[in-house]
Structure 1
């Protein structure tokens, strides 16, 4: 029997009495497992070998997982520090515990997001209260980390492994283990003798020009053999939705705004008539910059008008906030917590010069908030900002705009609820019904800008505005229950590769 060299070598190395793995054969023949696998399948097609397959799963620690195994999970370290500080009797300030727990940077948010989830206690208004009966020694995720490090990861509880995988602490990989055994026909072929055929795997220019292709034997290809899965690049579903939102708003007559992600508190909050002592402006809710700390250029006349609006109000009945206003705080730099900073730059004329009504502008940009991570909140997300400047606008105009916008995405059951904002009056929140859970979820905030916002900007007509959550729109369109599945470091790559695009 004449066989290509690789097939002949595999046939001779295989055994009729014991099963041998592809890896073992590859090591013995000094060949790649891929070449041995291909030869084994070709021999199996000829009835000379039996190929058995077994699905296996391997679990390994990521770099972050190995670090947490050595130092402890952030939530466990926070709990132990809290107990040491007496937080199981009386709440202790978060600031006192972070240093003791050795937590900083992203580890702080990880600890906060998992502390209550695991029943270690609760965190309210920056104070930590530790549950006295919690037992960090029995933490299932910490035990699973140890098991994975010891090579026993597949024996760890499935829910603990799932949680660690979502957190990016372990890596689970499925593989197919193949082993081969000689058939009776294979044994007979070896007894009769196997001759190595000089085969060619590819047609080359030299073979063509020399004419040698007429005399060589070409290797047969098994087109049904397993091949490595290759995932090509594709546009992220969140980006697809963002681009679609842009197309819809442009079709409704809006122009797009652009501006800095890092901006002065003046543009982010002060121009929006947000008091400087508002809780959302503390270090617990904003990401301030340490270098550089402040902005140098601000329009001085606008700064003065905004300062007076905060201190004195506007109009005959205006009173302002009766609280201090510090220009240095207004000049402080931070990551924008909403894209309304762009609206303030455009409405003031700072971005594109003075605007005359009517005008429609929007942006679909990223914003940053120091929120607690959960199924509907992230530290950074996309906001659909928009505003319309015109004479005699009303709430009916605003509601009609939303109904038209959301109808473009097949969403027709929008609900409205009156709300309070420091910068709009009247104001209301928008809600939509989740298609899978039936739960009513908040999807945006809106209103008509107050005179205290518009008068310092030099605008004497109405402006209606809104901030909508792109990720919440995604949840209503696709039925996702946890936004972390599609956005952030814990996203589900298989879901992103296979999810059907909704048009």
Structure 2
């Protein structure tokens, strides 16, 4: 019997008594594993070997997990700080306990999201309690991480699933193939197997000389499994952002650009947001410590905005009659909405004075100190837009939304009247979630008030909106939790497998 060289090598290395893995055969034959796999499948087709498959699972702790093995889980650190604060007897202030715990940045959110789940205590209305009977030393997740780090296996699938959802372990599955000689294979070996001269590639020289007529070509199993390679791809959120930009450009809009960290003047004051508004406290904004303020503000515009806050605009104007500080206006913070860009453009500060009609938009990131849940993150993308023209109405605004969302297959918008300090009338937009059937708020909008436009020097109507890019994705793809697609807990497998909708 004549066989290709690789098949002869695999046949000679295989055993009728012991199943040998592809890796073992590759090491013994000095062939690549994929070459051995192909040869094994060909031999199986000829009845000379059997190929059995099984799935092998590998669980590996991540770098974040090894950090917790060294320093302790964040929720345990929070529990210990709560005990020190006496929260096992009386509720303690959550902010104080977090400060004493030494937790910073993302670890705070991680600790809070796992604290109550593990029964360490409760978190409610800014207070935290500690269960005196909780035992951090028997934490099942920490014990599992320690076992995996020591090379041991963990049998509890629920614990492994929780660790994987937290990004503390990487679970990979691979197909393990083993090869065993059949009776026919043993008989063939006893009768003698010779190596057939085969050619794997047809060359121009073979065609010219006619040699191709006398050679035996190697056979290829096109159905054999290939090695999986997860290449990089554009994140679905970025893909949708680019599609939103293309859609708005197609509707006649121009794109705005501007700083992520900006003066409170552009973020809030120019929007007729009173400086004592709850959304402007240190609890709801991310202030910068270096630098702390901006010098480049147009003095005449600052004066007009301050006057609007104190006295309103026009003969019947009514301001807030509340304290207003230029130092606060100059303070730098991460923008809570991209309307700061709208103020820069409408005022003429960014690109010079604009004459109506004008249409501008941006799709950029904003930052808010919100409570994390399926529809809220600390940072997200906002679709900002505005139209400057004469005699605009709410009907024009609604018509713009109908045209925009129709491009993404969303035609069931609903509207609800709303209050904004900077628009009147104002309304929120809602769309129906394709999976749950619930109404999801997707944006806020309205007509800019005179108290906003007059100080900016705008004499015509301006309709404006701020829409959520992530919630647009929820309506398009049926996602129920935006943390699956955005942030440190993102589901990478979901992002790899989700098809892009057009």
Give the TM-score normalised by the residue count of structure 2. 0.89
- Name which of structure 1's ranges 463-472 and 251-260 shifts more when overlaid on structure 2: 251-260
CA contact (8 A) 1:360 1:389 kept: yes
Partner of residue 43, structure 1: 43
- Name which of structure 1's ranges 174-183 and 99-108 shifts more when overlaid on structure 2: 99-108
Distance in 2 separating the partners of 1:317 and 1:66: 65
CA contact (8 A) 1:147 1:156 kept: no
> Structure 1 residues 267 and 86 mapped into 2: Cα distance closer, same or farther (>3 Å)?
same
| Aligned counterparts, 1:91-170, within 5 A | 91-116=91-116, 118=118, 120-125=121-126, 127-130=127-130, 136=136, 139-151=139-151, 155-158=155-158, 160-170=159-169
- Name which of structure 1's ranges 291-300 and 49-58 shifts more when overlaid on structure 2: 291-300
Partner of residue 303, structure 2: 304
Question: Deviations for 1:414-444, whole angstroms, at most 9, x for unmatched residues?
Answer: 2222222222223222222212111122111
Partner of residue 461, structure 2: 462
> Structure 1 residues 12 and 235 mapped into 2: Cα distance closer, same or farther (>3 Å)?
same
CA contact (8 A) 2:58 2:173 kept: yes
Partner of residue 80, structure 2: 80
Distance in 2 separating the partners of 1:133 and 1:318: 61
Distance in 2 separating the partners of 1:312 and 1:400: 34
Q: CA deviation at 1:169?
A: 1.4
CA contact (8 A) 1:311 1:320 kept: yes
Report the count of equivalent residues. 501
Distance in 1 separating the partners of 2:64 and 2:410: 40
- Name which of structure 1's ranges 134-143 and 255-264 shifts more when overlaid on structure 2: 134-143
CA contact (8 A) 1:427 1:448 kept: yes
Partner of residue 471, structure 1: 470
CA contact (8 A) 1:58 1:154 kept: no
| Aligned counterparts, 1:206-245, within 5 A | 217-245=216-244
Partner of residue 20, structure 1: 20
Distance in 2 separating the partners of 1:143 and 1:317: 69
Partner of residue 188, structure 1: 187
Q: CA deviation at 1:213?
A: 6.4
CA contact (8 A) 2:388 2:463 kept: yes
> Structure 1 residues 139 and 467 mapped into 2: Cα distance closer, same or farther (>3 Å)?
farther
Q: CA deviation at 1:85?
A: 1.0
Distance in 2 separating the partners of 1:209 and 1:325: 90
> Structure 1 residues 86 and 435 mapped into 2: Cα distance closer, same or farther (>3 Å)?
same
Matched, 1:423 2:410: no
CA contact (8 A) 2:144 2:154 kept: no
CA contact (8 A) 2:313 2:454 kept: yes
CA contact (8 A) 1:287 1:369 kept: yes
Distance in 2 separating the partners of 1:351 and 1:151: 59
CA contact (8 A) 1:393 1:464 kept: yes
What secondary structure is seen at the aligned counterpart in 1 of 2:110?
helix
Matched, 1:401 2:403: no
Distance in 1 separating the partners of 2:59 and 2:269: 51
What secondary structure is seen at the aligned counterpart in 1 of 2:82?
helix
Q: CA deviation at 1:211?
A: 8.1
| Aligned counterparts, 1:279-294, within 5 A | 279-294=278-293
Alignment RMSD: 2.9
Distance in 2 separating the partners of 1:318 and 1:115: 51
Partner of residue 486, structure 1: 485
Distance in 2 separating the partners of 1:210 and 1:329: 86
What secondary structure is seen at the aligned counterpart in 2 of 1:377?
coil
Distance in 2 separating the partners of 1:359 and 1:87: 57
What secondary structure is seen at the aligned counterpart in 2 of 1:228?
coil
What secondary structure is seen at the aligned counterpart in 1 of 2:474?
helix
- Name which of structure 1's ranges 375-384 and 388-397 shifts more when overlaid on structure 2: 388-397
Partner of residue 433, structure 1: 432
Distance in 2 separating the partners of 1:237 and 1:163: 25
Q: CA deviation at 1:5?
A: 3.5
Matched, 1:345 2:355: no
Q: CA deviation at 1:206?
A: 7.9
Question: Deviations for 1:190-215, whole angstroms, at most 9, x for unmatched residues?
Answer: 21223344544445678788987676
Partner of residue 445, structure 1: 444
Q: What runs of 5+ residues in structure 1 fail to find an aligned partner?
A: none
CA contact (8 A) 1:273 1:310 kept: yes
- Name which of structure 1's ranges 294-303 and 237-246 shifts more when overlaid on structure 2: 237-246
Distance in 1 separating the partners of 2:133 and 2:464: 49
Partner of residue 335, structure 2: 336
Q: CA deviation at 1:400?
A: 3.3
Q: CA deviation at 1:399?
A: 2.9
Question: Deviations for 1:352-410, whole angstroms, at most 9, x for unmatched residues?
Answer: 21122332222222212232322111222111111122334333333333233333333
> Structure 1 residues 326 and 113 mapped into 2: Cα distance closer, same or farther (>3 Å)?
farther
What secondary structure is seen at the aligned counterpart in 2 of 1:354?
coil
Partner of residue 66, structure 2: 66
CA contact (8 A) 2:425 2:447 kept: yes
CA contact (8 A) 2:338 2:362 kept: yes
Q: CA deviation at 1:224?
A: 1.8
Partner of residue 177, structure 1: 176
Q: What runs of 5+ residues in structure 2 fail to find an aligned partner?
A: none
Distance in 2 separating the partners of 1:148 and 1:284: 40
Distance in 1 separating the partners of 2:316 and 2:91: 43
Distance in 2 separating the partners of 1:87 and 1:307: 46
Q: CA deviation at 1:500?
A: 3.6
What secondary structure is seen at the aligned counterpart in 2 of 1:155?
coil
